[in-house]
Amino acid sequence: MRSVTALFCASLLVAPGLTLARDASDYATSAGISASLYSTFKDDKLVVAAREDAGAFVASAGSVRGAYLEAALRHLRDTRPELAAHSDLQLAEALLAQE
């Protein structure tokens, strides 16, 4: 019985760490995309206009896709081929992270 209790207690300590590690990985990816976008598109009017659409897209988990966001995603992938590997949701989150 003690081993079961010890195992249960250990799992309570480890589980938050695993979640934190996953979240840190997601943050690192989003931060990397954001930095890449910022260097090229900080003044791009298309990307600025797409931020509102990106907010709706992220908030709806990808259900709401606005015309400005679609145009911005196409523009980003055409001008920055290294961003093609990222999902629409990742790119939308990166657009929202821009200041």
Measured in degrees and rounded to the nearest 5, phi and psi for residue 82 equal -70, -15
Q: Which has more confidence, 29 or 59?
A: 59
* Residue 30: predicted pLDDT: 55
* Residues counted in the chain: 99
Alpha-helical runs (H) found in the chain: 2-41, 45-59, 67-79, 88-97
Q: Model confidence over 23-58: pLDDT tens digits?
A: 444 444 555 565 555 555 555 777 778 999 999 999
DSSP state of 65: -
Phi, psi of 60 (to 5 degrees): -95, 10
Based on the structure, what is the number of domains in the chain?
Answer: 1
User: Residue 37 has what pLDDT?
Assistant: 57
What integer pLDDT is reported at residue 59 of this predicted model?
A: 96
Mind listing the pLDDT tens digit for each residue in 82-94?
988 999 999 999 9
Range of the domain at 46: 2-97
Task: Give the mean model confidence (pLDDT) for residues 59-79.
Answer: 93
